[in-house]
Structure formats: C-alpha cells, structure tokens
Structure 1
Amino acid sequence: MAKQRATITDVARAAGVSKGLVSFALNDRPGVSPETRDRILLVADELGWRPSVRARSLSTDRSFALGLVIARDPEVMSGDPFFPAFISGIESALAPAGQALVLSVVGSEADEEASYRQLSDHDRVDGVILTDLRRDDPRIALVARLGLTAITIGHPDVPSDLPSVNVEDTPGIVAAVEHLIALGHRRIAHVAGPSRMLHGVRRSVSFTNTMHSHGLDGGLIIETDFTAAGGARATQLLVALADRPTAIVYSNDVMAIAGLGVAARAGLSVPRDLSITGFDGSDIGAHLFPSLTTVTTAVQEWGRQAAGLLLRVIAGETVDDIELPPARLVIRESSAVAPIPPTPTAAL
C-alpha cells in the first residue's frame, strides 16, 4: 500500500500549532515568529511534506505550468533531436521551481490558434513560449488578444513587446561557407529550411551574402521543410546535376545526415567527392562516419533560459532580452579539400 502524502494537518498536529499558522509559515507570510516558523519548517521536512500543486493553484489562481505549442508533424518532430534537447532544457528549469510543461504538438500551423485558445480558456498555463517564429507571425497579436503571458525564441519581424531569448545563427552559416571556400570549394549549394520561418530565411540570406562577398554564385539553394526526407530529396536533385556542387551547406543536422546517406548511395565519397556541413550540433553527428562538420548552438541552454525568463515575467519582474553565445562551427570529418576537376583530354 502506497504511503500517504503528508498534509498541512499532519504538520500542524506534529508541531502543536493550528493549520492556519502552518499555512502562514510554509508560505512565508508575516505573523509567525522566527522560532515557530523554523520549528514548523523542520517538522514539515521531517514528515516529507511537499506543496500540492492543485492546492497552490486554487489558493493563488496560478496553474504552475508553462505552455509550448509546436506546429510540426509529430512523426517528423520525433526524428529531430533539436526539440528533445530544447524541451530537456525547459524541464531542467521547471522541475526545481515546482512547475510543469504543457506540451501540445499540432500537425499544422492552422491548428495552433485553437491550441492557444484552449490553453487560455481553461487556464491551463501561466504563460507560453513561442518558437519557430515566422514572417509576420500572427501569434504575437494572438497571445496579446488572449491575455497570455509569453516570450519568444528569437526576435519577431513584427512589432512586439514580448521578451526574447536569442541565438545569432548568422555567424555559424558564415563560418561554414568560409570554411568550405578556404578548402577550395567554389560550387557550393544550400539546402534551406522553409522561407516562412525566420531562421530559415536568415540562414539562406547569410549563405547567399557570404558567397557573393567572395565573388561566387550564391543562388544554388533548394528550400525544404527541415525534415530528413526533404533533405534527402534535395540532395538527390543536387548530386544529379551535370555540374553538381562539391559542397552542400544544410540548414539542420537532420537533413545533413540524410544527405550523407544519399551521397553514399550515389557512389560519392564524403568528403573526397562531396563536403557536407550541418546545423544544430546534435550529438549523433559526432558519432557518424564520417563525423559531421556542423554549426553548434547550446540547445538545452536555450530551453533553460527560455523557461527561466518566462517564469520571471510571470512573477512580475522587469526583464531584458537574453542574448546567448552565437552559433559556432565545429569542424569534423565530413568537410575536406575540394576535389580537383579532371584535366580535359587533348584531341588526337
């Protein structure tokens, strides 16, 4: 039989005081002498008393939960290591604070509004984290209309008073392209994320601008949906070109890993025939053969800082945006010197 949870009544009986006094002491309210407060806290600790989230919610009109709505196919998301790492970071901040995460994964952006309305209408969360910001993102205005406290991951491109946690990804793409150029690559392609997503746009623009700054054509870009299947299809198109690229910069690790497989099936050796770089710095990339050159960001820290920032906003604190260290390039085995073009055979 499971041991029953200690209650305030149990603490009051053991400490020889009223339940009201115990409640005041446990909630750090005035009206309790320091000696009595210390005795009550000691008894509560000895009995293993822990606050009930349900009771706290009823007494404070708080949910003690944060919301995260992700508009991606659940099957696709399960194969992307970014979100598990990001959610792990969020949980690392919530657990010590006695908070919970309410996660909603919807299949399309069209279903998002309903999810946010449910979170608001049923008072399920005290605030939400907006991720995967999009062009003219309607969620900025939506959370304001719903009265939801919120923060954003990244800076929106529409007017916003919401605090944000930011990682500058441009330096990572610039470093990846310049790394490949330094290795002698001139025909470089980019497998991009959706242009409706701000980080997809930033990475594509950074790729094109860096190529142009070196006098190279930056127009060999294929837009995808950030999935492994999308990355595979884009790679198949690129390696089938008569003038195929000697290097491909992918907008995430999932697509880059899929690209490694496509290249091998096409008879290409990575990195002898084709160099590949990813983005996100997922752990699996270090254990592939060849190991993946990638742009890394502190994904778990991103989640931890986002949850911490939202909790401070909910508590009524004045906060500033958080700028995390920019993305950086990690060079591994999947990038190498560009292959030497074959010398044309002279006519006899």
Structure 2
Amino acid sequence: MAGAGKRAAAKAVEHSKQSQRVSLKDIADELGISQTAVSFAINDRPGVSAETKRRVKETAAKLGWSPVYAAQALGSSRTMTIGFAPARAANGIQNDNFMMQFMAGIHQSLSRKGYGLLFRPCSSDKEAIAVYRDWARRKRVDGVILVDLYAGDPRPALLTELGLPSVLAGGPDPSNSIPSLSIDDSATMGTILEHLSLLGHKRIAYLYGDKSLDYCRSRVASLQEFDKKSHFSQIWVEDTGFDTGRGVELTQKLLLEDKPPTAFIYETDSMAAASLRALSTVMLASDMMSWDSGIRRFPYDLPAIVSFEDSVICETSFPSITAVHRDASLYGTKVANLLLKVLAGESVAGNRKILTPKLIVRESTRMILPNVDTM
C-alpha cells in the first residue's frame, strides 16, 4: 500500500509539472539566451537572426509553449480582435447565404494568426457609425472589415479619422481612404443578359437588393446600357430592400401585366427560390384543376429565373436555378488577409478586383416555350 501511495504521489507531481504553463523564460533557459531574444523570435520581430527564430520556435513546440493572447495583447497594445458591423435588416444576415460563407472565410484566415472576430450586426448605418466610435474610444478592436459601400458613404473617411485600420470588401472607395478588394463582376450582368437574349427573352425584370448600394446601382446601370444596344421590348427594375417576401409580391404583380416579363433576375438565392416556389404552387394547382384536359403548365410555363447568388438552394430547387457563382468563403479569406497585411504595416494596393464570377446555367433558363415573346 505504501509503494502504491508513493507512485500515486509521484504521478501527481509529474502531472502538476506538465500542467504548468511553459513560459518564455523556460524557452530562454533551455537555449541559454535572453527572454527578449525569445520574445522577438516568437513574434517575428527584427533584431534576431533567422537561425535564432528557427531554434526558438522549435524549442517552443517541443516544450509545449502556447501564447497567452490576453498578455500578448496587453504587451503590444493589441486586442487580437477584428470588428465586423454590417448594417442589415433583422433577418438580412441569417438569410444571406453569401454573407455566411464570407464570414466563414474571414474566421478561417484570422484564426490562423490568433485573431478573433467581433461580429456586431447593426440595424442601420447610424448604429454602425456609433459602434465604430465606441470601438475606437475603448480600443476594442485592432481593425475593421467594411462591407456594403453606398453613394456618399461616410464610413471609410470616419474609420480613417478614428485611426481604425480597415479594409473594404467591395468598392472601390471613391475617396481612396481605405484599401479594397472587390469581386470582378462588372460584366456579370452582361453575361446574364446575353444568355437570356440568346434564348429569345425580350421582357426582363431585375429585382435588386437596395438602390443605395454601389454594386446594385452598377448592375442596374449595366442592364440599362445593355438595353440600349439590344432594344428589349421592356425592362422592369424593382427595389426589394433584400426582403424575400417583397420579391415574391413584385414577381406576382408583374406577371399580372398584359405582357409580363418572360425572365426574372433576382439579387439573392432565397428571393429566387421563394418566387419560384410561389409560381410553381399556383401552376400545380391549375394543373390539378384541369387534370382531365391533359394541359400541363408546370414547369414549362414558368418564366426564366436567374439568381445573382449561387447556393445549394439553387442546385436542389426544381427546376434548378441558373445562378452567378462566386467563392464567398475564399473572398472572405482574401479580405481578412488584406487587413492582416495592413495591421502588419505592409504596403498594399489601393483597390483590386478578384474572383471573376461564372454563370452556372441550370433548368430555370432551359425550360422555355418555342416563342417566349408571345408568352
């Protein structure tokens, strides 16, 4: 029994030693160098050789050292936190598949460098501006990711004035206050319209997200410019405010016109899918009422449908929905990487465009009548 007790005590002592956090001093003692040299090597600061950095990092890994971010932040005046305060409607974020993937990409990039993301959704730009001021006053975040630039947007200049390093997803920023990365979709609307034109569509409706947003205005302008060259019979441009229900209502209203649109372009996948479901329900009910006649409207009498966002919803709907595909997660990763470069003091390009989107053609623009202009 006595021997067993000694062994238990020895194990307890060993466990206690193992559970003690390894410090920079432990690494310094192991290598016979100063703690300052170890700190410089761990944080990739100048002042120590590449060989010393290598030895320090290898020894840190061997001893099981891990950073204490609270202390690290205190010592460097950094919070190791990035702020993200998009201004959207109450359900605007949770229903936005692109935004969810974009945020996942941001997380993936930041976590590699030990940063966290402070997500603070706001109901308005006024609230977002108040949040930025509060973050700057309390030194709550090291930097900010900005989205949804709009005409006359005061946020880039404000963030610069507050001394908050920031980058813009979208843009470019007309004031050139902050660097930006935007998806190169300048020709995407043209690609969609070329596709619909080749199918014979002449009456086209675009149900966009928000007239104040830069990218929505750019897409509307592209549609109007294309119309000047192609001379559509009629185009409709409607603001939905990113409200899926509003998109469905507008779709149903437009289809009641004497010569309704034969093709609809939607800002989001959820709006496209919800409108498709509403139209399909009506047509299937009509088919059931006229079952004996043998006339079947669904899915052949459906207007063509295109979404500016792609997702599993577009793939699995019936008919599957033609959509513009962007890698939102990769986009989030690149935007976060850009901000990390800014925080590291690296020189970055002012405004760059990346990730040219692709149009994924599916059933929703294939099931057409022989002469769509007479629909």
TM-score, length basis structure 1: 0.89
Q: Give, as a single letter, the amino acid of the residue that structure 1 aligns with 2:352.
A: I
Q: Write the distance in 1 (CA, Å) between the matches of 2:194 and 2:334.
A: 30
User: What is the aligned partner in structure 1 of residue 364 from structure 2?
Assistant: 334
Q: Write the distance in 1 (CA, Å) between the matches of 2:92 and 2:238.
A: 19
RMSD: 2.8
- CA displacement 1:32-80 (0-9 Å, x = unmatched): 6888765543332123211121122112122222211111134231011
Q: What does 1:224-235 correspond to in 2, within 5 Å?
A: 224-235=240-251
Tell me, yes or no, if the aligned pair for 1:136 and 1:157 is still in contact at 8 Å: no
How far the C-alpha of 1:111 sits from its partner, in A, is 0.8
Q: Write the distance in 1 (CA, Å) between the matches of 2:368 and 2:185.
A: 25
The structure 2 residue matched to 1:324, chosen from 351, 354, 359, is 354
1:277 aligns with 2:306: yes
How many residues of Structure 1 are paired with residues of Structure 2 in the alignment?
A: 344
Q: What does 1:145-294 correspond to in 2, within 5 Å?
A: 145-156=161-172, 158-217=174-233, 219-267=235-283, 269-270=298-299, 272-294=301-323
How far the C-alpha of 1:322 sits from its partner, in A, is 2.7
Residue 21 to residue 115, structure 1, CA distance change in 2 (3 Å) = same
Residue 30 to residue 176, structure 1, CA distance change in 2 (3 Å) = closer
Q: Give, as a single letter, the amino acid of the residue that structure 1 aligns with 2:279.
A: A
Q: Which moved more, 1:177-186 or 1:332-341?
A: 332-341
Q: Write the distance in 2 (CA, Å) between the matches of 1:209 and 1:51.
A: 55
Q: Write the distance in 2 (CA, Å) between the matches of 1:110 and 1:29.
A: 39
SS in 1 for 2:307: strand
How far the C-alpha of 1:307 sits from its partner, in A, is 0.7
- CA displacement 1:143-188 (0-9 Å, x = unmatched): 1221111111222463223211011223221111111111111111
Tell me, yes or no, if the aligned pair for 1:167 and 1:323 is still in contact at 8 Å: yes
Tell me, yes or no, if the aligned pair for 1:211 and 1:217 is still in contact at 8 Å: no
Q: Write the distance in 2 (CA, Å) between the matches of 1:142 and 1:343.
A: 50
Unaligned runs of 5+ in 2: 1-14, 284-296
How far the C-alpha of 1:224 sits from its partner, in A, is 0.7
Q: Give, as a single letter, the amino acid of the residue that structure 1 aligns with 2:331.
A: W
Tell me, yes or no, if the aligned pair for 1:66 and 1:100 is still in contact at 8 Å: yes
Q: Write the distance in 2 (CA, Å) between the matches of 1:82 and 1:319.
A: 26
Q: Write the distance in 2 (CA, Å) between the matches of 1:36 and 1:343.
A: 74
Q: Write the distance in 2 (CA, Å) between the matches of 1:167 and 1:57.
A: 33
Greater share of helix? 2
How far the C-alpha of 1:219 sits from its partner, in A, is 3.6
Tell me, yes or no, if the aligned pair for 1:171 and 1:326 is still in contact at 8 Å: no
Q: Give, as a single letter, the amino acid of the residue that structure 2 aligns with 1:279.
A: F
Q: Which has the larger radius of gyration?
A: 2
Tell me, yes or no, if the aligned pair for 1:272 and 1:336 is still in contact at 8 Å: no
The structure 2 residue matched to 1:51, chosen from 67, 72, 77, is 67
Residue 270 to residue 27, structure 1, CA distance change in 2 (3 Å) = same
Tell me, yes or no, if the aligned pair for 2:202 and 2:234 is still in contact at 8 Å: no
Q: Write the distance in 1 (CA, Å) between the matches of 2:268 and 2:176.
A: 27
Q: What is the identity percentage for the equivalent residue pairs of Structure 1 and Structure 2?
A: 34
Unaligned runs of 5+ in 1: none
How far the C-alpha of 1:332 sits from its partner, in A, is 0.7
The structure 2 residue matched to 1:60, chosen from 62, 72, 76, is 76
1:85 aligns with 2:85: no
